[in-house]
């Protein structure tokens, strides 16, 4: 199940903000991510997904510029979903998010096409802005 929050602005000539989709099987973290996006000027949440499989569909439908994706989810995990998303949509920037230290994240995370990995406890408006400044298009 997913929620479409707003239309993607990618197809407009001059996007007013970076369109973002969040993906996490935990509703609590999706709410935190929503709050971070709302608190960061220049970013707009356009959709959410609660699984990797749904994320692939949502990103295909909404064509966001940025996807914030949990690494560990039941079924299709974040690394496999990131691989599918970046393969089908090379312009989409995928940032993996995990509660674990990078050494504990599966080695497949480095090979899935994601631009970066950030710990959930380090995620906030400044981190979101910095990640986009480095990896955004």
- Can you list the residues of the chain whose pLDDT is less than 50? 1-14, 103
Q: Are 62 and 47 in contact (CB under 8 A)?
A: yes
Q: Which pLDDT belongs to residue 123?
A: 94
Domains and CATH numbers, the chain: 2-7+17-135 (3.40.50.2300)
- For residue 10, the model assigns a pLDDT of 41
Note the pLDDT of residue 56: 97
Determine the pLDDT at residue 102.
Answer: 56
What number of other Cβ atoms are within 10 A of residue 43's Cβ?
20
The predicted structure's pLDDT at residue 99: 84
DSSP-derived pairing of the beta strands 66-70 and 18-23: parallel
Contact 86, 104 (CB under 8 A): no
Give the containing element (helix H, strand E) for 60: helix 52-62
pLDDT tens figures, 115-124:
988 889 999 9
């Amino acid at each position: 199940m997913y929620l479409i929050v707003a239309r993607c602005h990618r197809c407009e000539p001059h996007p007013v903000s970076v369109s973002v989709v969040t993906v996490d099987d935990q509703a609590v973290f999706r709410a935190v991510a929503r709050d971070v996006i709302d608190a960061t000027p220049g970013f707009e949440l356009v959709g959410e997904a609660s699984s990797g499989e749904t994320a692939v569909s949502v990103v295909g439908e909404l064509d966001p510029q940025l996807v914030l994706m949990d690494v560990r989810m039941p079924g299709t995990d974040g690394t496999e979903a990131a691989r599918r998303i970046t393969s089908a949509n090379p312009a989409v920037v995928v940032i993996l998010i995990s509660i674990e230290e990078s050494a504990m994240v599966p080695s497949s995370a480095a090979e899935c096409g994601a631009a970066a990995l950030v710990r959930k406890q380090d995620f906030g408006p400044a981190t979101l802005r910095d990640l986009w400044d480095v990896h955004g298009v």
